[in-house]
Structure formats: C-alpha cells, structure tokens
Structure 1
Amino acid sequence: MRQLLPISALLLGSAFLLFAGGINSLILPVRGNLEGFSSMSLGLLGTGWALGYVAGCILSATVVARVGHIRAFGVLCSIAAVSMLGSAILITPWTWIILRGLCGFCFAGTAMIVESWLSERTEPGARGRVFGVYTMVNLGASTAGYMMLTLGDPSGFFFFALAAIFYCLALVPTALSNTSTPTPMVSVKLNMHALWHNSPVAVFAVFWVGVSNAAFGTLAAVYAQNVGLTLTAVAFFTSIPILAGAVIQMPVGLLSDKMDRRKVLLGIAALALLADLAFILLAPEGRTLNLALAALLGGSIYAMYPVIVAHANDHAEPGTAIQISGGLLLTFGVGSIIGPTVAGWAMSEVGIRALFYVTSAAHGFVILYTLWRISRREAVADDDKSTFQPINAGRTSNLQTAKLSQNEQPETPQDGDKVVPPDAAH
C-alpha cells in the first residue's frame, strides 16, 4: 500500500483509459457489422490500430520531449475522445480505419507516459508487484468496457459518447497529480540482425503470434455475431480469451523456468492449433462450445508472447533487455498489421470461419519452425535462464512496459539506449 498510494492517480487514469478502450475496441466491429461493413474492412480496423500503435511506440518519446508528460498525456486522451466521436458521426469504413489508427497512436503514447511515471515512483524491488497491480487494473477495466455493451443498443450514439467521456476523464487524475517530474522515456536503437542471431525462434514466432493474435483480437466479435451469438455472448467471447491468457501466464511461466522454453512454446502453440481446428471442424454455433473454445484459444495465444520474450532474454547479453523487447515489439507489430488484413480478406472471400484458417496457419508455422530449431540448438541451462515475467500481450506492450517489469532497474541507460530529456517543469 505504501507503494500504491503515490501512484493511485496514475492507476485511476489508466483504468479510465482502458475502460474507454474496451468499449472502443468492441463497439466498432459490432456496429460495423450491423452497418453491413465487409469483413475485409473490419479487419482493416485492426491493421489501422497496429499501424498507429507501432508509430506511437516510435514517436511518442519525441512528442513528450517537446511538450512534457502532462501536456502530452492530455493531448493524446483528447485526440482519442475526438476519434471516438468522429467514428459516431462519420460512419464509413475508411473513416473508421483512419480514426482507429489515430486511437492506436494515442494508446501507445499514453501507455508509455503512464508506465514511465510508474517506473519513477516505484522502488526497484517492488516494480514487479506494482507492474502486476497495474496489469490487473488494466485487465479489469478493459473487461468492464467490453461488458458495458451488454447494457444497451449498439446501433445508437450512446456507447461512442460514453467512451469519449471516459477518455476525457482519464486525463483528470494525472492533470491534478502533484507527483514529481517523470523519469526520461526510453528510445532504443534496434539491431534486428543481432536480434535474429540471438534467437531466431523468438523473432520467427513473435511475428506469427502477432498475425494470429491481432487477427483474432480484431475479428472475434465479427465471427461471434455471424454465428448467431447474442450481444452478451459476443462480449463474453471477446473478454474470456484475455482473462484466460492472464490466468495461465503464471503456471506457464513456472513451467518454462523448469524446462526448455521452446518446448513450452511448442505445447502452447499445439493447444492453440487444437482450438483453431475445433472451430473449423466442429463449426460450433451454440454459446457454450464457442465460449469454451475461445477460452482455450485465448489462454494459449496470449501466453505465447511472454514465453518468447523470456526465451530471447535467455540468450541475450547483459544489459540488452530493452533492445530485445523493442525488436520483438516491432516484429510483433508488423505481424499485427498483416494478420487482420489477411483474415478480413479471407472471411469476406471464403466465409466467417476463415478467421481460424489464418490463425491455424500461423500456429502451424510456429510449431514447425520451433521443432526445427530444437533439433539445431541445445537448450539453455536452467542456471543461465532469465526470470520469467508475466507481461501484457505484445499488442498492448511498449518499451516502458519492459522497463517497468524489471525488478532491478539500472539508474543509467544501457549501451545503445537513448533517453529523452525529462520535463523541465509540469
């Protein structure tokens, strides 16, 4: 509690932001489907988000350096609210894609600002626990945002306005906070060749995980609507996978600390492929089976990313954790741009279950390449392994997430890092 009280304003602001984000991410595919948008155009919503988020991760540190943390956070929250209201007024696919990308940029920037703030306000030895609380707050807020859609009619203006209101409320706690100037934000010089040499399986797998996770995260609601699930069931169908992924991370992490992480990744990918094939072959139409398979798929796909990051860090040189996280995030982002586009096109051309053709292909590639790499390289000894850290799915992670999740944070930047000067004043 001594650690949490000084950052309560940041946690509250983040909760408001993620609550609005939960509404935003579900109302657009649901309403777009009601408006008759094609699966291709709805998949491009995810592509727009991923493009904006990657751009935000790259450019946000520069924006903060120019105007400061407080102003940057307020501006980004305001732009997110504008994008939400614009989506309610201009109901066309291409307008929504652009506005969704703008919102992705804002989310990347606000997350980096909040997390750099948390990093400064938390003692190094408590950062792991604080990060866990922060993750659970965000998870709970996002889930609450999803479930809000069960309380009204998605064809009206209400949910767009509600999300915009909470985007605006998110800036209030931080604007009124009297915390000290946040720590400098981290900007990393990436070396993708070195990252591939460090761990080919991590780079290959994280790309295809980006493809599958973004495709499912963007188009799950469209699938659920088209198989005839009620709006309440659609909300559960999109939120249960995230909850399952959060719950399974700890047992998966403990297992990966005791054996070759590549074999753990192999097992998780096999479970994901099993869920994919069940969606395709069983063609479930009822609520119970769809939700059960969604939980199995979500628990698998959202547990892969932290295992991949941990495996890459097992082979890393000391002091390169931020560079590795940045490279994996960029690779994940590229996959997140491609996945929804391909899956949306496939659903438009082949049928609604083509979503799982795309995810099953991605998971199949992960399995085959991981098997090949296991035969080519010995496993890391247990004593040489890094410590597994439960982390957000890559689509909602950034360099500040990687920094905050380190229990022992160095006071000075590592070689290859650039730091953006902190605010001169609030």
Structure 2
Amino acid sequence: MPITALLVGSAFLLFAGGINGLILPVRGTLEGFSNVSLGLLGTGWALGYVAGCIMTSTLVGRVGHIRAFGSLAAIAAVSMLGSAILITPWAWVVLRGLCGFCFAGTAMIVESWLSEQTPAQSRGRVFGVYTMVNLGANTAGYMMLTLGDPSGFFFFALAAIFYCLALVPTALSNTSTPPPMVKVKLNLKALWRNSPVAVFAVFWVGVSNAAFGTLAAVYAQKVGLVLGAVALFTAIPILAGAVIQMPVGLLSDKMDRRKVLVGIASFALLADLAFILLAPEGRMMNLALAALLGGSIFAMYPVIVAHANDHAEPGSAIQISGGLLLTYGIGSIIGPTVAGWAMSEIGLRALFAVTSLSHVMVILYTLWRMTKRQAVAEDGKSSFQPLNAGRTSSLQTVEGSQPDPIEGTRESGATKGPAADP
C-alpha cells in the first residue's frame, strides 16, 4: 500500500481524535458535568490507551491486521455515537476509555504497516513526516469546533465518520502483510536501573501533560474564553511543543540532557506560576502562557527518552523507550483525576497547582541525581528523535522512529498470513 494512503488513513484517525478530545470537555462543561467527572475522561482515555498498547499485538496475532483494524475503528465510531446518545458522566468515562483502547490499536496497526513500507535508511524521516501529518490533522480536528454548535449531534457524528474513513486505506490494500507487532513488557526494575531520572521524570510528565491536555478546555471555557479561543488554547500548546523540539534536541545533544530537562521544566514551572499568580482572564495573555507551557511540557518527553537511551545497553532502545511510554501512561491515568478533584475543591487554577507540583518534582529529583551520576560524554550519546507521547504515540511509533531496527525485538511466535486477510 502506498505510503501516501497510510498517511491519509492516519490523518483521518488524528482528525477524528482531535474532535473527540475537545468536544467531550466542551460539551460536558455545557451540560454541567463536574470537574472531577471531566478529569475522569482523561483517566479513562489513558487506561484504555495503555491497555491498547499492551493488548493490540495479541489481538492482531489472533485475527489479523485488517480485521483488527476494522473492528477497532468501528468500535471507536460507536463510542463517539454512544457519547452523543448517553449524555452522562459515567457513560462518557467508559466510552472514552473504549475509544482510547481503539485509538491505540488502530494507530499501532497503521504504524506497523508504515514501518514495513519504508526502507530502514529513511524510516526516521518518514516517521517525522508522519508525526507532522498527525499533528496537523489533530490540530485541524480541534479547530473544527469553531465552525458549529458544540451542543448538538454534529461533531460526534463527524468524528465517527472520520474514524470509519480511517479504515479505508488498509481495507483496500493488496500489499504484503505488515510484520508482527512490537510487544514490550513494562519492567520497572530494569528501567530504574538504566536511568532513575528517566523513570521518575516521565511519570511526573505524564501526570502534568495528561492533566493539562484533558482539562485545558475546561479551564479556558470557565475563565470566559469564547469557543474559538478555547480551541486555540488547546491547539497552540501542541504546536509550540512540536516547534521547540528540534532546537531543544540539538541543545541536548551538546550538553548534559539533565540540565536541558531542568531548564525546560523550569520554564514550565514559570508558566504554571503565572497562571496561578496573575490569574489571566484575557484572550492574549492566556494564549501566550499556554504557548509557553505547551512548548515546555511537550518538549520534555523526547529529552527523557534520549537520556534513557544514552544509558541503554546495545539492542535495548525499543524496550527502554516502550517501557517509558507505558510509565508515562501510568502518570496519565493519575493526573486528570487529581487535577479534576483539585479544580472542584480548591478552584479553577488548581489545575496549574497540579502541573507545578509535577514540574517541581522533576526539577528537584533531576538536580539531586546530577550529584550522583556523571553526564554521558557527547560522543557516547544516542541520537535525539522528536517524539510525541500519549494520544499520538504508541509502541509502533517508538519502533518506527529508530533509524536502525533491531532484530529480536518483535513478538515471538507471531506469523504472517495471506495478504488479503493477514
């Protein structure tokens, strides 16, 4: 199947995911859902996403790539339509978790196909294009909400349509079956021995990023921003994080990555404190602080992965990166729940108290570890790879971003089936 078709299918997925990720908190706020229940939407998504990352390879091994992909895309569409019919917080939490599971699975299948269609020497560049396509589609999904009324059925149906359209490229494919999918087990002891800073930091970054990603729209609505500004408030941080990754990556290649991590976390903390102390209500100040916060929090994850890989044994990069992604997912389960509760009990800007606590923990622990372990020499570092986490990253992204795939990292015992029905 041509790479273009895979990129189109992935763009449909992320476009639907953008609508999905914004319509629920916006509509939930209009329906009067509590901040706790809105935070639980992020927890449900993270639980489903982590489960999807772990279980999809087994599902594909049983029924094949095309059947698994079609089933997951259809269930994701059903979850969106179900959310439009069952407008209750607990139904939405369950359906959001189901959608997270499906989204992880469909993304992994598209990425495994993309990995097979791309020569090893150009795989890093192709996955960079893939990441940018996903980013653009996700942002477009967010911005769609400025074109209609979020209180109706339209956006739920639109997301469901694009989830279904995403299966068309794989359904029409007549090329060879993708290779067996990556299956990485979470081994916290091994991860901790490799790099305590990476494990500790990626957990707290998961807490922070998921809390902000889930509840940013809720904050923006309740602070008084109009719907167009709410969409920008959720989209600008992601765009800022994407733009800043390469300069941050180049800097981290030249100096101790832990110093870079502390610097980024300090900028994030500065934005957190500005939200709390300045209590901005105007559009421009909120958007400027959102850009500063997003550029910081969404640049931390790839630096953490690169730092962990600097200490990794040869041949273990995929296991290390995949384990960190799942650790990030654990933090993502906790962050939205705690932040939602804090916003209900303390006040709207308690969201940034949760994110600031996360960033303080990253700064203090990283500074302490810098006194215990010397920095890796520049010529001993792994190459920095731009990466996204959470909603736009999976174990297949981790594998595809590696410039030289490592033998023996695929799931053992999986076999290829016929091209028409793998």
TM bracket, shorter-chain basis:
over 0.9
Whether 1:398 aligns to 2:376 is no
Please tell me the root mean square deviation across aligned C-alpha atoms, in Å: 1.1
SS at match of 2:178: coil
- The CA deviation string for residues 178-226 of structure 1, in whole angstroms up to 9 with x for no partner, is 2211111011244221110110000000000000000000000000000
CA shift for structure 1 position 417: 5.6
Paired position in structure 2 for 1:176: 172
CA distance in 2, matches of 1:395, 1:268: 21
SS at match of 1:213: helix
Q: 1:333–1:395: 8 Å Cα contact kept in structure 2?
A: no
Paired position in structure 2 for 1:61: 57
Counting only pairs closer than 5 Å after superposition, residues 360-371 of structure 1 correspond to structure 2 as: 360-371=356-367
SS at match of 1:186: coil
Which one of 74, 82, 86 corresponds to residue 86 of structure 1?
82
Paired position in structure 2 for 1:420: 414
CA shift for structure 1 position 230: 0.3
CA, structure 1 residues 210+419, in 2 after alignment: closer, same or farther (shift >3 Å)?
farther
Q: 1:131–1:404: 8 Å Cα contact kept in structure 2?
A: yes
Paired position in structure 2 for 1:251: 247
Counting only pairs closer than 5 Å after superposition, residues 136-175 of structure 1 correspond to structure 2 as: 136-175=132-171
CA distance in 2, matches of 1:10, 1:248: 26
Paired position in structure 1 for 2:212: 216
CA distance in 2, matches of 1:22, 1:191: 32
SS at match of 2:358: helix
CA distance in 1, matches of 2:385, 2:240: 17
Paired position in structure 2 for 1:337: 333
SS at match of 1:155: coil
Runs (5+) with no aligned partner, structure 2: none
CA shift for structure 1 position 45: 0.0
- Amino acid aligned to 2:408: P
CA shift for structure 1 position 422: 3.0
Runs (5+) with no aligned partner, structure 1: none
Counting only pairs closer than 5 Å after superposition, residues 24-423 of structure 1 correspond to structure 2 as: 24-410=20-406, 412-414=407-409, 418=412, 420-423=414-417
Q: 2:115–2:400: 8 Å Cα contact kept in structure 1?
A: yes
Q: 2:33–2:89: 8 Å Cα contact kept in structure 1?
A: yes
CA shift for structure 1 position 330: 1.6
CA shift for structure 1 position 8: 1.2
CA shift for structure 1 position 413: 1.4
- The CA deviation string for residues 360-410 of structure 1, in whole angstroms up to 9 with x for no partner, is 000000000000001111000001000000011244322111110011113
- The CA deviation string for residues 31-67 of structure 1, in whole angstroms up to 9 with x for no partner, is 0000000000000000000000000000000110111
Q: 1:332–1:395: 8 Å Cα contact kept in structure 2?
A: no
Q: 2:185–2:323: 8 Å Cα contact kept in structure 1?
A: no
Task: Report the more deviating stretch, 323-332 or 93-102.
Answer: 323-332
- Amino acid aligned to 1:137: V
- Amino acid aligned to 2:239: L
CA distance in 1, matches of 2:414, 2:135: 29
Identity within the alignment, % = 81
Query: Where does structure 1 differ by over 6 angstroms across 4 or more consecutive aligned residues?
Result: none
CA shift for structure 1 position 419: 6.0
CA distance in 2, matches of 1:32, 1:394: 22
- The CA deviation string for residues 237-292 of structure 1, in whole angstroms up to 9 with x for no partner, is 00000000000000000000000000000000000000000000000000000000
Q: 2:73–2:164: 8 Å Cα contact kept in structure 1?
A: yes
CA shift for structure 1 position 139: 0.5
CA shift for structure 1 position 177: 1.9
- Amino acid aligned to 2:286: N
- Amino acid aligned to 1:421: T
Q: 1:17–1:170: 8 Å Cα contact kept in structure 2?
A: yes
SS at match of 1:187: coil
